[in-house]
Structure 1
Amino acid sequence: MRLLGPVELAGAEGAIPLATGARRLLAVLGLRAGEIVGWAQLAATGLATDSLDRDAAALAGALTRCGLRGALQTRASGFRLAGRYVDARLFQDDLRRALAQRAAGELHAAIALYDRALARWRSDTPLAGMVLSGWAVAEAKRLAESRSRAREDRWDCVLRLAGAAVRASGAPVADRAAVAAGIEAAKVAAVAAAELEAGVARHPLRERRWELLLTATLVSAGRGAARSVYERARRTFAEQLGVEPGERLRALAAAAERGDLAEPPAPPPPPMPRLPRQVAAPPVPLTSLLGRETLLDEIGARLGTHRLVTLVGPGGAGKTRLAIAAAGGAGRPLAWFVDLSAVDRPVRVPAAVAEALGLREEPGKESIDAIAEEVGDHDVLLVLDNCEHLVAGCGELAGRLLAACPGLRVLATSRAPLRADGEAIVPVPPLTLPASTAGLTLAELANHAATRLFLERAQARSGRPVPEGSADAVAQLCLELDGLPLAIELAAARTPLLSVSEIVARLRTDQRLLHSPDPTAPPRHRTVAAAVESSLEQLDAQVQAYFDRLAVFVGGFDRGAADAVRGGAGPEALDLLVDASLVEANTGRYRMLMPIRRHALARLYGDAPVARTAHAAHYLSVAESADADLRGHGQEAGLARLRAEAANLRAAMAWLGEARPSAIPYGDLRLATALAMFCRIEGHYREALDWLAAALARHPRAPKLLRAAAAADAAMLAMLLCDYPAAAEYAEVARVAYRAVGDQRAQARVEMILGSVARERAEYEESAAHLDKAAAIYVECGDELGEARAVLLRGFTAWLAGDLDRAELRLRAGRRWFERLGDAEAAASALMNLGAVALYRGDTDRATSLLDAALERYAALGFPEGVGWVHNLRGLVELRGGRTDRAGEHLALSLATHRKVGDRWRTASVLEALAEVHRQDDPERAAQLLADAGQIRTEIGAPVPACERADVEATAAALGFAVPA
């Protein structure tokens, strides 16, 4: 990531193209590589804030293409760019090493490091051609100044070596030409003089360059030339500033006049200051720190580059424990720890810190001055613990101390940032959790920080290890506690009396379970509730009430949803809760950790009905808007919105389904109808049908059109669940209602559902009649998308009936339609059906190509019904090729999917195909599979499809079965 010249991103193959916005974002973040750059800081540089997300996505994609996946991190407070690949950061690292080598007298090593640092520059100007403003301009100027100083420091090293060579020759200046070392030194000095002449011309008032030029000229050209350099410097300073050159340049000129190549005068050594006392040492932890190794490294790195670092996270996240560990590993000889939890007012912070450090109060001297005097110039790390209720006081104290004490660094812990200048924020998230909560072993749990913490603390509390049989319960418990360390510690304290499963069960109904039995624990650590309340105390009553109402959200939510339940709180209330670490924010989504949400639920009291109704009304609106997309041209956008809000939609459905007619009229019926298509795509047939059936039963007098729409969706879902009588009954209810109001387009949809019912019953002529009627209605209504879907289903019916020519004709037309109209799911279905036609024509190569393309599209959509169908057909393709192992793999995947969604019609077909897979190697199993398929077909009233009948009869005959007509 190149900033030292034109801004560009370079991979192994060269420069990666970047749009203007992404390149400007790279420039700004690169200037503060390794830090979180907040939204306000980004805006201050002139970046377009309305396109930041788009620019960040483009930059992240470019970084991934050049091998830097994850280098750009999005945080709630802004963006962070990893610094190890930014040339400006590497340049500064080289300079730090060069300065260290120079101070140690290793001049050759320092010159090599300066050369490497300067070679990183591709032009004289950092961010060349980039138009920015605010602090970014200052940072760019600072980089340019660092380059100038680096060039000067490099020539200083070169000239020191040249001077040493001349002095080592032992010859006077007049005879130096005879000394080999002197000759070489003169050549080097001449090169330096030429470059320094150009540098002086560019910056004539930069005195250090005149000093270096005078020294280089003396070594390369002698005393007279050096005298001329000094006279030019005197005229320049007199004409432009009206002053004489500085003392250092005058001293060098006097030495040159004597012909003396003396070392530049070294500054006098600083007086040895009084050593600060060893006071307020961090407490020694009694338990080990688990799962925070990476975070500790990040804190150490931040302390290396920033003088004020704040660990921010919710109560109980382990900030204090981390700060203690960081203080011990920061590499500093002295760390002071001050617990501010008992301080009641921000103005009391300086006095409290001074008191903790054992400093006496002196009349007329401020506490801050006393602390600064104690620190002096020493390298001290001051840990300020529990600053959340004293943010203003801690921020002011840190700012004044850091300005007065150059060796001081401050590490603060807080639930909210201190908002002080130069503050680097390190979020402290919950501990990592296993991806699954089932089928785990204790050994596997030990690989995840949250579950490992519970296992170790539970054993320490109970004196015995957690039983192997409790592994899944441990994973579930830590998930319920969202990985919050304090909650896990409190739960582990219950293991002497309760099993892990009992703790999980009790936790869901009794918040008092998470209570520390240790009377010496700080009040804020005795319960999760106490930790939350200590944060809430800093907020006004309206924001606290808003916090309570946010408990109605399940999982994440966006700002629009949060505003729906805001009540009387101001628009800034959500940001205040985020700042207080009571709500997490991540790329436009928000959530409460589960232990915090449970406490908010316990506080909700009488406000619950109002909050839940507002929540349900918002998500009803979301569902109805997204449902219009799903039934039209915007499937992907609608799916993404509903998938993100699935947990909240279920919560809204549960609330509206509790017989609340006064909350939102017919709300449960409207929401169940709005979610029907989503549930069909997601494969949640049974859940959605149950919602619709219950809502229809609760609202017999609902508006006719609403009941008709609900009945039509119930018919679709019942058909997918292979309950054909129920599907036909619901469809008839919907058809009668639509006829009564004259809604032709809706009647066409019902005809399509009836056509699908007839198709699965192998009543192909009746199916075709329904579908042709639907297509004719859509044509009359001018509904091109509806007509295309009817034609697709007509092709589906045709190939199942064995009419492959008619099927292909319709499916090809449907595919062209859907590609043009942008219906991704229907286009994938057309590909799948065309693959089936190719399969039954014996063209297995074409079938494979079409089916694989359909599978890729279905997988991208996340459409299980389609994925299961394609695996079914791919299994048949492999069977035709004699590859039974691969056929079995596809069919097993298909079977699992169809059983999960409840499609018994396809389940039967897959079982029949699996019978052929196992016919030779395991005839007994094959016979059982065929029998199971036959039983399903009898129960649902659906015979073997015509196109599959020959294959099934061949398998049955080989096994001694007869296939019912």
Structure 2
Amino acid sequence: MRTPNFEIRVLGPLEVVGADGAVPIDRPMRRALLGLLALRARQVVPREALIDGLWDERPPRSALRTLHSHVAHLRRALDAGGLGAVVGTRPPGYVLTAAPDQLDVDRFTRLVKADHDEPPEVAARRLRAALDLWRGDVLVDCAVGEWARAEVNRLHELRLQVVEQLCAADLALGGHRAVGAELEALVVRHPLRERLWELLVLARYRDGRRADALAAYRRAHAVLAAELGVRPGPALRRLEATILADDAPTGPVITSTVGNAPAVGDDAVHETPAVGNAPAVGNASTSGDAVRKTPAASDHVVSDPVVSGAARIPVPVTNLVGREADIAGLVDLLAERRLTTLTGVGGSGKTRLAIAVATAVARAEAVAFVDLTALSDADLLPAAVCEAVGVRDDPTPAALVRALRSRDLVLVLDNCEHLREGCAELVATLLGSCPGLRVLATSIEPLGVAGETVWPVGPLPVPDPGVRTLAQLRRSDAVRLFLARAALPAVRDLTDADAPAVAAICAGLDGLPLALELAAARTTVLTMTEIAERLREPGTLRGGPAHGRPHHRALEATVAWSYAGLRPAARPWFRQLAVFTGGWTLDAAAHVWRETTATALDALAELEAKSLVVVDRRGGRARYRLLETLRHHAAGRLAAAPAEDRAARDRHAAHYLARARDTDRRLRGPDAPHWLDRLAADHGNLRAALAWLAATRSPDELELAVALARYCRLRGRYAEGRRWLLEALDRREDLTAAQRAPAVLAAASLTYFQGSYAEAARLAGAALAGHRAAGDTSAAARCLRLLGSIACERGQYARATAHYAEAMLVHRDAGDEPGQADVLQMTGFASWLAGALDTAQPLLERALRHYDRLDDPENTASVRVHLAFVALHRGQDERARELAEQALTVFTGLDFGEGIAWAAHLLGLVDLRTGRATSALTRLRRSLSAHWQVGDRWRQTAVLDAMAAAHLALGDAVRAAELTGLAAALRDELGVPVPAVDVPALEQVRAALVERLGERRHAALARGAARSVQDVVAAEPG
């Protein structure tokens, strides 16, 4: 493959690398702009889409002019870096003309495509190469808007699918124990992915641990039951049965291939009887047995007149897509329950589902169908029902009771929401007097009649974010409906290149049937990509069939219909929910609404009953969200009331500031993982709160950024947290050095973790001066500890120890036990790095006793890692392995990427020391990837040297020389030496390389090493 003369990397922090090295793109907005263009490389991105991507729903008035300016500056920066005119102007926007091999996301996408016949070892190399392209969250340092976030989520889901496939390939190659350990960590992070549980069960069984395999199955069963209320799927149940029979599969377990799934057949066509001769009321037999194909699924139907004493069921003019399980379940339910109400937001397909159920029931029973859409007066309800069932001379409830008292009938009342009270009264009267009557109703909210069973009609399932082919897309009911309604020429000309746009359309519309149909109507004049880009434009989702219901001819009208059905007092509740991003909790809603928790609970129940709020009950705590189409409508309504909008966003930001402060205090101790997870669930809201505080120039922006610094560290979000802090500091030039000091210290800490030592030392020094000026000795001690850590990684062990000793005096005087424990750990770390193992061990053991007493799992695990390194350098291999595995378990539960990377590195070294070079290389590669993802460049150097030793043990001296060369180059870039404790082992490796390769060839290979860690992991076979 041709080596590109530049590369743009988005699978992590945005990076541009030209022929002469990194190309700086300093402004956050320009970095985001390049990231947006890279996500749509070689496609024209309209200016409107870029404005949405940069400013989301709140662009400034000068957005277009500002965009032009950013493009001009970006072009100059790229041209100066040797990339030339890579950003072109093509109406109606701009295009990034980079070739596929010049973008890491394109290389990743190409690598995940597979040949179904490839052997497991080939699949494993390919999948590892794909995963090794990732350096962290996609565009983690770029603030991008809604459509880009959807693409980011798609890429993350695709990456997770690749992880599953790689585990399967490694199992097929016999790596049962190593894969099992990795899967234990994965099921903790992703407990609802059954494929991971299946692989874990199989790995434990193949490793000869039958009891552990069955225990893993029981854990999966318990998790799925608790979180989803379901039992394991057929594949996992079959695996349990075969293990119980001691007959589990022994061959390869790669059951599917990411990015290249088998084709799915065309839309199913359902057999339904003709309903032109519906039976008379009271007659249980059917006439007109002829069967015809009735496709079905739009709300746009043609109604027939009354015939033979019963209303004909409307005959759909389009195919029904999906809903098979709903139809079957509702037919069964109607046999048992007397009142069933289909509820759901407008456009969810309630009417079409009711028609399908009525058609199925009409094969054996009398059915009367009443469309209430055009009825505006509840007093006319009895007459409408009388007409449907053939009672014409006396259109009253009493006459209906007399006619139906001795008959069996299924009465369908469609669109009851605007006549809800009248429908409820009539239905209660009829059911109380007519034992053979059953009612199927459709309404945005339940009727509220005693004995009512509510059947929510949700959106259609949308495609998984990782799908890349049309064949895969057709597995999704949302895609099937969209393509069934799209213009025939548009569907006929589709290729796999259109798959991402089709997936974005269906996901962006939440699988809402009406929205999909309206978007499909635009395929006569727009491409799939253009529709995906214009989903939020007012005119796109408009133009339903002329014969359709008026409120179904435009999505906005449908949502407005639902909004109009709210009580006036409830409408502000709905509008203000638009301030949330990614869902919210009951407490958050109460704060934004300025209501008590009890009132907020009632309000959410009311909105949920009207199908305007979706409830997610997983994880033991209810979270709520709006469908995106509803959120967009709510945001428009809120924007039309500027004072209300600002007040709601102020309260939203204040709530998440309080949440961040409270959580920051809880991020020590055994409950830290719980609080981390809760805060992470609101990451979108935290971003939104920071953006609002920045836009309003609120001083709370800086306080929120500081409160989130520890969260960002524990979750490996170094770049994002640092950016939040520095941008907030830039906007607070009015503060004194003392006032700025807490934020500067937090930024210094995150900068240190990124390996930017000079900048970290500068910031830490400024923070120290500020805290000393304020007389805050405790904070000054934290600055000294950070300066000590910076000196330690720079190899300045005496200076580090002096900083730590000065900090210890402060902590002792204050009786600060956590501070003393931290200093002991850090001094022990510096000691073993310097090779002073006898000094390090007692310091670390004292720190461990403190952390045990403080019940601090993160630091307890960190000390165990340090003690494991001491044990390793003393030749106590099994002790080192035991300590590292204990630490890995804790770090995995905390989802602490840095700690996971350290533990994996140590376990790789133990494997190398005990003669298992292949296993060592696998662990070390994963450690390198993890350090890369969190941005810890200092530790990458030690892992590279260890990988070189593993390659040397496996006989690949060339690769080993390249890796030692890259480690040396990276240390030169960072300005750090080889830790003293590692010098003997590294010199031994270099001496062996010189002996095998010769001095000149060794030096040439080291100088010609790959330019980045990404290059290493992309080529590393692992």
- Given the two structures, how large is their TM-score scaled by the length of structure 2? 0.65
Q: 1:848 aligns with which of 881, 892, 896?
A: 881
Alpha-carbon contact 1:653-1:668 (below 8 Å) kept: yes
Give per-residue Cα distances to partners, 1:18-70, cap 9 Å, x unaligned: xxxxxxxxxxxxxxxxxxxxxxxxxxxxxxxxxxxxxxxxxxx9x98896876
1:691 is displaced (CA, Å) by: 1.2
1:494 is displaced (CA, Å) by: 2.4
Q: 1:635 aligns with which of 649, 672, 685?
A: 672
The aligned counterpart of 2:947 is 914
**Does 2:332 match 1:295?**
no
Alpha-carbon contact 2:309-2:390 (below 8 Å) kept: no
Distance in 1 separating the partners of 2:434 and 2:311: 18
Letter in 2 for 1:945: P
The aligned counterpart of 2:965 is 931
Distance in 1 separating the partners of 2:845 and 2:568: 64
SS across alignment from 1:512: coil
The aligned counterpart of 2:554 is 527
Alpha-carbon contact 1:458-1:465 (below 8 Å) kept: no
Q: 1:896 aligns with which of 929, 933, 951?
A: 929
SS across alignment from 1:493: helix
The aligned counterpart of 2:913 is 880
| Farther off after superposition, 902-911 or 589-598 | 902-911
The aligned counterpart of 1:166 is none
Distance in 1 separating the partners of 2:374 and 2:482: 29
Greater relative CO (CA pairs within 8 A, separation 6+): 2
**Does 2:372 match 1:343?**
no
Larger Rg: 1
Q: How does 1:266-665 map to 2 (within 5 A)?
A: 277=308, 279-330=310-361, 332-362=364-394, 366=396, 368-435=397-464, 437-438=465-466, 440-458=468-486, 460=488, 462-464=490-492, 466-508=494-536, 510-566=537-593, 571=600, 572-587=602-617, 588-605=622-639, 606=642, 607-630=644-667, 635-658=672-695, 660-661=696-697, 664=698
The aligned counterpart of 2:113 is none
SS across alignment from 1:447: coil
Distance in 2 separating the partners of 1:737 and 1:771: 19
SS across alignment from 1:311: strand
1:756 is displaced (CA, Å) by: 1.3
The 3 A distance-change label for structure 1 pair 360 and 864 is: same
1:634 is displaced (CA, Å) by: 5.2
Alpha-carbon contact 1:745-1:778 (below 8 Å) kept: yes
Distance in 2 separating the partners of 1:546 and 1:272: 47
The 3 A distance-change label for structure 1 pair 815 and 278 is: farther
Letter in 1 for 2:991: A
Report how many residues are paired.
Answer: 701
SS across alignment from 1:520: coil
Letter in 1 for 2:485: R
Distance in 2 separating the partners of 1:955 and 1:474: 53
SS across alignment from 1:483: coil
Give per-residue Cα distances to partners, 1:252-298, cap 9 Å, x unaligned: xxxxxxxxxxxxxxxxxxx9989994522322333333342333343
Distance in 2 separating the partners of 1:858 and 1:901: 14
Identity of aligned residues (%): 42
The 3 A distance-change label for structure 1 pair 273 and 513 is: closer
The 3 A distance-change label for structure 1 pair 718 and 346 is: same
Alpha-carbon contact 1:554-1:647 (below 8 Å) kept: yes
**Does 2:796 match 1:763?**
yes
| Farther off after superposition, 703-712 or 648-657 | 703-712
SS across alignment from 2:312: coil
SS across alignment from 1:511: coil
The 3 A distance-change label for structure 1 pair 735 and 875 is: same
The aligned counterpart of 1:147 is none
Alpha-carbon contact 1:631-1:677 (below 8 Å) kept: no
Distance in 1 separating the partners of 2:956 and 2:225: 53
Q: How does 1:214-229 map to 2 (within 5 A)?
A: none
- RMSD over aligned Cα, in angstroms? 2.9
Alpha-carbon contact 1:461-1:492 (below 8 Å) kept: no
Which blocks of at least 5 consecutive residues in structure 2 are unaligned?
1-214, 232-280, 286-306, 995-1001, 1008-1022
Alpha-carbon contact 1:64-1:70 (below 8 Å) kept: no
The 3 A distance-change label for structure 1 pair 441 and 370 is: same
Alpha-carbon contact 1:629-1:637 (below 8 Å) kept: no
Q: 2:899 aligns with which of 866, 876, 881?
A: 866
The 3 A distance-change label for structure 1 pair 820 and 357 is: same
Distance in 1 separating the partners of 2:364 and 2:985: 78
The aligned counterpart of 2:153 is none
| Farther off after superposition, 687-696 or 453-462 | 453-462
The aligned counterpart of 1:832 is 865
The aligned counterpart of 2:173 is none
The aligned counterpart of 2:234 is none
SS across alignment from 2:547: coil
Q: How does 1:35-50 map to 2 (within 5 A)?
A: none
1:461 is displaced (CA, Å) by: 7.1
Alpha-carbon contact 1:511-1:598 (below 8 Å) kept: no
Which blocks of at least 5 consecutive residues in structure 1 are unaligned?
1-60, 75-79, 83-270
The 3 A distance-change label for structure 1 pair 797 and 439 is: farther
Letter in 2 for 1:754: L
SS across alignment from 1:378: coil
Distance in 2 separating the partners of 1:911 and 1:66: 36
Distance in 1 separating the partners of 2:926 and 2:333: 49
1:536 is displaced (CA, Å) by: 1.4
Give per-residue Cα distances to partners, 1:685-720, cap 9 Å, x unaligned: 111111111111211223655411101101100100
1:81 is displaced (CA, Å) by: 11
Letter in 2 for 1:321: R
Q: How does 1:200-211 map to 2 (within 5 A)?
A: none
1:558 is displaced (CA, Å) by: 1.3
1:603 is displaced (CA, Å) by: 1.8
The 3 A distance-change label for structure 1 pair 66 and 930 is: closer
| Farther off after superposition, 490-499 or 777-786 | 490-499
1:468 is displaced (CA, Å) by: 0.6
Give per-residue Cα distances to partners, 1:695-746, cap 9 Å, x unaligned: 1121122365541110110110010011111111111111111111221211
Give per-residue Cα distances to partners, 1:492-525, cap 9 Å, x unaligned: 22233333332222224x1331123422222222
Alpha-carbon contact 1:868-1:895 (below 8 Å) kept: yes
The 3 A distance-change label for structure 1 pair 819 and 290 is: farther
